[in-house]
Chain A
Amino acid sequence: MTSSAAGAPALELKGIVKEYEQNRVLKGVSLSFQSPAEAMEAGIGMVHQEFMLLPGFRVAENIKLNREPTLPNPASRVLGKKLESLDVARMRADARRALDAVGLGIDEWIRVAGLPVGHMQFIEIAREVDKERLKLLIFDEPTAVLTESDAEKLLDIMRGLASKGHAILFITHRLDEVLAVANRITVLRDGEVVGTPDPKTTTVARIAELMVGRPAAIAAQRRFFAPTTEPALGIEHLREDMPGERVEDISLAVRRGEILGIGGLAGHGKLGIANGIMGLYPAWGRVVFGEKLFPLNEPREALERGLAFVSEDRRGVGLLPEESVELNIALSALEAQGRFLHPSPIPALQVLNHGAMHRHALEMIRALDIRTTGPSQQVRRLSGGNQQKVCVARAMTLRPKLLFVSEPTRGIDVGAKERVLEILTALNREQEVTLVVTSSELAELRAICDRVAIVYRGKVEAILPPDAPDAAFGLAMAGESARAA
């Protein structure tokens, strides 16, 4: 999102980026560093978003890992340096110095396991600071897990390191922090540089605008029927345990007949909502669907009550890549509703009605314009866009009342993108299916949705009309919607 290099010697950073680009031009994707070890050797340190610490090791051991000062002993004299003893006294002294540099007063000889996350973050930084050759330190969303006071402290340390001559590459989406510490700012969107505002003159709103970008011309398509204000799905205080997605307290009312968009930055919980309600990850909260209390953590129940889901994870959840197009389309309906089966006295032993499945697949292939050699083709042989259409076809086969679609256009080409969005809007208008579309591409949400909810840190930050100003979306995504008002 936003990155900034603080501190004096920005030369290294430029050099690296240039070298990286040159290599990319020369050899496709091969990088100038063959391994993380080489990058470290060159003086680049990294503070990871996910901590890279060994919990069972002591603080000093973690800081000095693989760079331990050693003393010769009889065995090492014969068998080589690898067998030298650890110089524990020096390890502790070095670790102490590094910890002091980042202002962490904990004992350097206690184990990392069980320490608060803030401490772990600072240990991680201390480890990088301890490296003698350190020239460039990369922080990847370091403040995401910290409390506000710890975050303040971290920013101070960053300023301190920069004044000592270390370059810092600070990757974050917290716009206030960027403005507070950065000497220069680069805003990225979809893998491209979209602006380098001057931190002295720019504002948070301006950066937010750059992050969001102009939406593609919003299609001013008139709807065939106006969405009611009648609630279709009420979500109250949804909390969920999904790795990498934070859903902490989502409350949201979906109106019958509308297309509701859910946007927000990666990891803030937008993808968790659909996954939680469909029962794919453990979730807690109160959900009402069709005026009845809806049970969570029951995938089958969700399907039986008329919900369907097109997952963001096509290959893992959305498709059986080895199986045929027809089976992929029919499978959910076959499982949850017992369709496409010959009658049999024992329900579990009903034999597949291949003819009915085949005919249905042909119908879907025609309706959604799925490019395939035929219903029996393996799904993995289709292009991404056509695989996505198969996912949509399977969800449509369930004849849902409400359909969740996550990342409908991820990883598919431009032409197919438009086709998929058309299919979704047609489904909403012609078959009156309520749609909840989750996407990282704000522009597409603004193009097809009636309302767009933006989530931030596991909560709904704002619900905006699709034609709200860019800055309003940007600020909501950065958790600062109050500022837009």
Chain B
Amino acid sequence: MRLPGTLREFGIPRLLIAVFLAVLFGVAVATHMDLRGLISDSIVRVGRNGILVLALLPAIQGGLGLNFGLPLGIICGLVGAVISLNAGVHGIWGVAMAAGIGVALAVPVGMGYGWLLNRTRGQEMMVGTYLGFAMVSMMSVFWLLAPFKNPTLVWAIGGRGLRTTLSLGGIYDKVLDRWLEFTVAGVRIPGGTLVVFGGLSFLTWLFFRTRMGISIAAARSSTRFARAAGISDERTRLQATVLSTVLGAIGIVIFSQSYGFVQLYTAPLLMAFPAIACILIGGATVTRATIGHVIVGTLLFQSILTVALPVTSQVIQGDISETARLIIQNGMILYALTRVGRA
């Protein structure tokens, strides 16, 4: 089947998913659901997940493929969040402190991760997956044994070990979502979170137009070209990994404040997968991605997740949204991996 040029450029998987989303919205309209609420929820989720998706961009641009090791950055952000909670810092300063500590941790962690990836060239995605899994398990021990004393964080009985889910209610729950919040035609827009997402996207875009960013992208395109141009691709890969890990740390802090809870223990385990699905649905490949892919992909995938649950439960009196999520998410990753080397 040959599609017209513009449609082909858009990509068949993206097309199918956009059509699926349109059908979901169509059903929502037909069954008189709260359309404004659905759109508003979709936008909230875009802001919530956007930075985690953005975190994948430097890794792809740096030639490391899909960063399945994203949980490493996420864990750094979580440690930052827990420390800020333990210190009892509220409001926007709590978020800033959590993000700041997260970034400070993510830089050395990212360097170690990058060092490892340079030693396991060509298997970045598999190494990232396993390293992520291993670190999540190791951190589960840490959460249990870490000397946090704040009674709102530790288990009520026994007084030792952090709880699996920490509520941010009254601390910095939705503090960015509410900051600069406004309503357009009855649709609530979480201004602050979107501003942070937009700002970081802009900075990332700008970074890839700097000398360092251009070297990273050049080394991705051709190792041998980079070498001939005097670029050390070991260094650019390290830089890309650090940047990806740092964005992952910031991403989870923003995610948590918007979600209202900090999830510990095994929660970060599978967090890379939906983010990866987002950027791929946006049109990125394992070797090439843009900010546009991040935004479009997050919008499409998160909207489907938001709309699918209420719509399907309305129509078939059951929940297939989780099933749909898993099929789309993992199918998309599988599809992208079959395209490796073909671009």
Chain B CB within 8 A of A345 CB: no
Task: Choose among A311, A323, A344, A351 the residue that contacts B228 (Cβ–Cβ < 8 A).
Answer: A311
Contact surface of B with A, Cβ cutoff 8 Å: 206-207, 209-212, 214-215, 218, 221-222, 224-225, 227-231, 288
**A81: Cβ under 8 A from any B Cβ:** no
Residue B211 contacts which of A313, A320, A341, A354 (CB distance < 8 angstroms)?
Answer: A341
A317's partner among B211, B225, B230, B231 (CB-CB below 8 A) is B225
Once the chains are docked, how many angstroms separate the CA of A349 from the CA of B228?
22
A348 within 8 A of B: yes
CB within 8 Å: A-B pair count: 79
Q: Is residue A352 contacting chain B, with contact meaning CB distance below 8 A? A: yes
**Docked-complex contact B211 and A299, CB < 8 angstroms:** no
Interface size on A, residues (CB 8 A): 35
A347 at the binding interface (Cβ < 8 Å): yes
Report if A348-B211 is in contact (Cβ < 8 Å); known contacts: A299-B230, A336-B230: yes
Name A315's closest neighbour in chain B (CB-CB): B222
Q: Does A322 contact B (CB under 8 A)?
A: yes
Q: 22 interchain pairs (CB within 8 A)?
A: A279-B227, A299-B229, A300-B230, A300-B231, A302-B230, A304-B230, A313-B224, A316-B225, A318-B228, A320-B218, A321-B221, A331-B214, A331-B229, A332-B228, A332-B229, A338-B211, A348-B212, A349-B207, A349-B211, A350-B211, A352-B211, A352-B214
Q: Is A443 an interface residue (CB 8 A)?
A: no
Residues of A within 8 A of B (CB): 278-280, 299-300, 302-304, 309, 311, 313, 316-323, 327, 331-332, 334-336, 338, 341, 344, 347-352, 354
Q: Are B206 and A351 in contact (CB under 8 A)?
A: yes
Alpha-carbon distance between A341 and B213 when the two chains are bound, in angstroms: 12
Q: Is the CB of A316 within 8 A of B222?
A: yes
User: What is the CA–CA distance of A240 and B214 in the complex, to the nearest angstrom?
Assistant: 30
Closest Cβ of chain B to A347, distance in Å, is 7
Tell me which residues across on chain B come within 8 A of A352, comparing CB atoms.
209-211, 214
Apart from A303-B230, A322-B288, A336-B230, what 15 extra A-B contacts exist at CB < 8 Å? Answer: A299-B230, A300-B231, A316-B224, A318-B225, A319-B222, A321-B221, A323-B221, A332-B230, A334-B211, A335-B230, A344-B210, A349-B207, A351-B206, A352-B210, A352-B211
Chain A residues with CB under 8 A of B222:
316-317, 319-320
- How many Å from the CB of B209 to the closest CB on chain A? 5
B229 surroundings in chain A (CB, below 8 A): 299, 303, 331-332, 335-336
Given the known interface contacts A280-B224, A317-B225, A319-B225, the answer about A335 and B212 at a Cβ–Cβ threshold of 8 Å is: no
Find out whether the CB atom of B224 lies under 8 angstroms from the CB atom of A351: no
B341 to chain A, nearest CB (A): 14
Contacts A335-B215, A351-B209 given; indicate if A317 touches B288 (C-beta within 8 A): no
> Which B residue sits closest to A301, measured CB to CB?
B230
